[in-house]
Structures are given as structure tokens and as C-alpha cells.
Amino acid sequence: MALGYLFAVLATLASGSGSILESMGVRRAGAYGGRSLDLIALRGQWLYFLGLGVNLLGFVCASAALHRLPLFLVQSMLAFSVGVTAMISALMGSRLRAQGWAALGVGAAGLVLLGVSAQPGPAQPLPPQWRWGLVAIAIPVASIVLYARRHRHVWATVALAFGSGVSYSVVGISARTLHLPDAVWRLVLEPAAWSIVLNGLVAAVLFAMALQRGGPTGVTAIMFTTNTTLSSFVGLVYLGDTVRDGYVAVATTGFVVAIAGAIAVAHFSANTRQKEPAMASAMSR
């Protein structure tokens, strides 16, 4: 169980720092605020791909944690990586208000409550048709790209961040229910493996487009809140995730407090968007 918590913490740190690196890469490429086709310029930005690599490492850690801990705990910790994003931004010159630091403490307290109330254990297997259904979800979520390319208003950015959250939640659900066969090559026959790959790609594209239009803290907050709420619901209702006997109220309070803390951090993070171009410039020297 302790190993599961360690993997979850490492995943949180990786996700928060990866988001910062990806955002800086988008801005260095001159793609911020531009067209979706401008994201092609990212091919020459090592910071962006470093961020992707860090996020991939975070996903590996999260997958390891999900084999030991329920979705509502691991995903809540990943949602709180917005706090890691805010702290790194603050260390690199962006001002985090006093209320933001307080929100970090509140969110951390919520995670502690979740940690003591979660009941470790594997997930219940999903029927094959449901596992293939997770693969198919990538298609309607990917269509958000078409909507975003035709609209430049704030709701298009929200839709992109929301869509990435949905895709990442499917990735988490798939990782939680993934059956590892004895022979590695048999993974190509496992729907959960395809779901992880396809929904992961969709999530990465939508997240990059959202970062192109909005600051990393706000975009990350929407993405992780959607991810956490949806995947936690599926885990509790369909995958047999449970809390310790007598700890339902503690788990509920911890979940609400952790998510509220993450949203509050995003709200009180001031000047993040304005400072990031300077941060990216400093990294390029």
C-alpha cells in the first residue's frame, strides 16, 4: 500500500511540472493565442517534448498507483498537481497570492483525509463491450477540435480543457482496469491498452490547444476537475472502489476539500499567464 501512495505522489509532481514545461514550449513556439495549425511549430521545441516526457513518466507512476489504490484517491492527487504547477510558477517569478498558498494547504488537508479513508485493492473487471466502449469514446471527444477551430471565444478553451479531462479520465479508468497478460505481445488484444493510447493522444492534443489559448493553471484546473469527478464516479459505481468502514463522511469531505483547494489555487494564482513568456525566454538562454 505504501508503494501505491509513493507512486501517486510522484505522478502528482510529474503532472504539475509537465504542465508548466508544455505551456512554456507552446509560448516559445509562438503558438500562444494563434491558430491550431500554429501548433506544428512545437516540433522544434524541446521544452514541450520534455513536458510530454515528464507527463508520460507521471502516467506510468499513476498507472502503478491505480493498480493498488482506488480512482478517487489517485485522481484527486493528480487534480492537486495544479498546486505543483502554481508553486513552480511562483518560484519562477509568477506571484501567488496569500489566499493561493492557503488554498494549497486546504487542498493538501483534503488529500490527507482521502488518504486515510481509501480502501486499497484491485478494481472489478469490466465486461469486454464496456472496455471497447472506452476506446470508442475517443471519437466524439476528438470532435471538440472541430468546434474549437471555428470559435475563438472563451468557451472554446473551456471545451478543450473539459474534453482533455474526459479523455484523461478514460485513460485512468482504462489503466485501473488493465489486465497485464503473461506475454507482452498480447497487450495488442487488450481493449484497455488501445483505450489508453487513443484517449491519451486525444487528451494531449486537446490539452495543447487549450494551453495555446489560456494560462496553464486555469486550463489544468478545468482538466483535472473533470478528470477527477468523472473517473471517481465510475470507480465508485462500477469498479468496486470503496472507502474504509466508517470513513464515508471523511472521504466525502476530503474529496470536496481537495478539489475546492485545487480550484481555489487556480483562482488565486495571479499573473501566471503574463509571466510565462518571460519564463520561457529565461529557459531559452
Q: What is the mean pLDDT of residues 234-255?
A: 91
pLDDT at residue 285, as a whole number: 43
pLDDT at residue 39, as a whole number: 58
pLDDT at residue 284, as a whole number: 43
pLDDT (tens digit, 9 = 90+) per residue, 61-114?
Answer: 998 898 889 999 998 888 888 788 788 877 777 777 788 888 888 888 999 999
pLDDT at residue 149, as a whole number: 77
Is a pLDDT exceeding 50 seen at residue 27? yes
pLDDT at residue 167, as a whole number: 94
Is a pLDDT exceeding 90 seen at residue 215? no
20-24, 27-31, 69-73, 190-194, range with the lowest pLDDT: 27-31
pLDDT (tens digit, 9 = 90+) per residue, 37-59?
Answer: 555 666 667 778 888 889 889 98
Contact partners, residue 235, CB within 8 Å, separation at least 6: 70, 71, 72, 75, 123, 173, 176, 241
What pTM was estimated for this model as a whole?
0.77
Q: How confident is residue 198, by pLDDT bands cut at 50, 70 and 90?
A: very high
Is a pLDDT exceeding 50 seen at residue 10? yes
Is a pLDDT exceeding 50 seen at residue 275? no
Q: What is the mean pLDDT of residues 226-233?
A: 88
Structural domain harbouring 118 = 2-284
In the chain, how many domains are there? 1
Percentage of residues of the chain with pLDDT beyond 70 = 86
Is a pLDDT exceeding 50 seen at residue 148? yes
pLDDT at residue 197, as a whole number: 92
Distance CA(245)–CA(173), nearest Å, equals 24
Is a pLDDT exceeding 70 seen at residue 35? no
Cα dihedral 165, 166, 172, 176 sign: positive
Give the 3-state DSSP-derived string for 81-105, with helices as H, strands as E and coil as C. Answer: HHHHHHHHHHHCCCCECHHHHHHHH
Q: What is the mean pLDDT of residues 10-17?
A: 90
Cα dihedral 59, 81, 176, 109 sign: positive
